[in-house]
Amino acid sequence: MAICLALLGLAAPGLAACAMATTSWASEPPTASATREVVGLQASAPGHAQQPQANPSVIGLGLSGTGTSFVAPASPTDKPYSPDCHVLMDPGFKGKCVVTVAPTGTIAGVVETKASRPIEGRGRPGKGMLGRARAKAATTRSAPGAQERDLVWRREGATWGLVLVHVFENLGLPSLVWADDIERDHDPKLVFVTPSARTGFGSELDLVEGTGDVVLYRFLGQGFANVPPAGGLVTYVPGWTEQHGAANAYDQTLIGYSSGSWRVFSEQYVPDSSALRQHRGAFWDSLAVPAA
């Protein structure tokens, strides 16, 4: 797989393009010097601050779902199969869902929150249509601390079987889930992003295979992730949320699938301003199908 951050439009402004530089990681991880050449990492010009250096030993590192908040359900749970995933939501909960059909199976991602009481001071009966509209809006709004359940169901013949569960108290905003062919290999997956206290940014990203397994977990630390047009995943994690991270830079990591595993293809720290120019939400891919 040949990856070039400059070609994908991900190199920080001022970095030289690498139009002629390609490296394949199908056989072995790249060396640190080869990675710098491919992603356009040059030494800072005189008079420009040098960004903190990432750890070159992570290049080629195999990644997995270790660390995910998802767990197996406490007991088997089945529901009759329906192509409409909304039937998977339990009474008293509201939310969104999406289904993806992969070579390894059909799975549905569900994000549901338990209906909460109106927030105090909102939705009190009023005169006329405006008062009724405010009351209705209040009764459908999730209050901070509402119980959330992020679920993954897998089709087993004529039934949906529950395979993954993440139950927690949210911060007032529910998790987000998409169906997405991240690697552009016709093997779509579910992408879950748990939001952070920082609006528009995430705390955790989980990639779920058609088998119903979490195959990639990434700590986002109030960061975000994008999928380049050619595929793969680029995460931007604020350095101040990492141990020994840079205070005014984002840890930009390019991840792809190679040699039977998800791997780190490149890593560098980029200035806050450069990273935030890539921000389009907690997760963005022009081809992703969001839950509805």
Q: Which residues, 6+ apart, have CB-to-CB distance to 194 below 8 Å? A: 69, 150, 166, 175, 202, 203, 204, 205, 206
Q: Is the pLDDT of residue 268 over 80?
A: yes
| Separation of alpha carbons 254 and 259, rounded Å | 16
Instruction: Give the percent of the chain with pLDDT over 90.
Output: 65
Tell me how long the chain is.
292
Which range has the worst mean pLDDT, 67-71, 136-140, 272-276?
A: 136-140
What is the predicted pLDDT for the residue at 244?
Answer: 82
Q: Which residues, 6+ apart, have CB-to-CB distance to 134 below 8 Å? A: 122, 123, 124, 126
Cβ distance 142 to 195 under 8 Å?
no
Which range has the worst mean pLDDT, 138-152, 255-269, 270-284?
A: 138-152
Q: Which residues, 6+ apart, have CB-to-CB distance to 110 below 8 Å? A: 85, 88, 89, 95, 96, 97, 149, 150, 151, 152, 153, 177, 291
Which range has the worst mean pLDDT, 16-20, 29-33, 126-130?
A: 16-20
Q: Is the pLDDT of residue 62 over 70?
A: yes
Q: Is the pLDDT of residue 21 over 60?
A: no
Query: How far from chain centre, in Å, is Cα 121?
Result: 35
Backbone angles phi, psi at 275, to 5 degrees: -65, -45
Q: pLDDT tens digits, residue range 163-172?
A: 999 999 988 8
What is the predicted pLDDT for the residue at 19?
Answer: 26
Average pLDDT over the chain, rounded to whole?
79
Read off the pLDDT of each residue in 210-238 and give the average, rounded to a whole number: 97
Confidence of residue 84 (pLDDT cuts 50, 70, 90): very high
Confidence of residue 250 (pLDDT cuts 50, 70, 90): very high
Q: Is the pLDDT of residue 210 over 70?
A: yes
Per-domain residue ranges of the chain: 32-290
Q: Is the pLDDT of residue 242 over 70?
A: yes
The DSSP string of the chain is -B--TTTTT-SPTTSPP-TT---B-SSSPPPHHHHHHHHT--PPPTTSPPPPPP-GGGTT-EE-STT-S-B--SS--EEE--S-GGGGSPTTEEEEEEEEEETTEEEEEEEEEE--PPPTTSS---SHHHHHHHHHHHHTSPPTT-EEEEEEEEEETTEEEEEEEEEEE-SSS--EEEEE-TTSSS--EEEEEEE-SSTT-EEEEEEE-TTS-EEEEEEEEEEEEE--TTS-EEEEEEGGGSTT--TTEEEEEEEEEETTEEEEEEEEEEEHHHHHTT-SSSEE-TT-EE--
What is the predicted pLDDT for the residue at 52?
Answer: 55
Q: pLDDT tens digits, residue range 121-158?
A: 443 333 433 334 333 333 334 456 689 999 999 999 99
Read off the pLDDT of each residue in 101-128 and give the average, rounded to a whole number: 71
Cβ distance 110 to 150 under 8 Å?
yes
The pTM for the full model equals 0.76
More confident residue, 171 or 229: 229
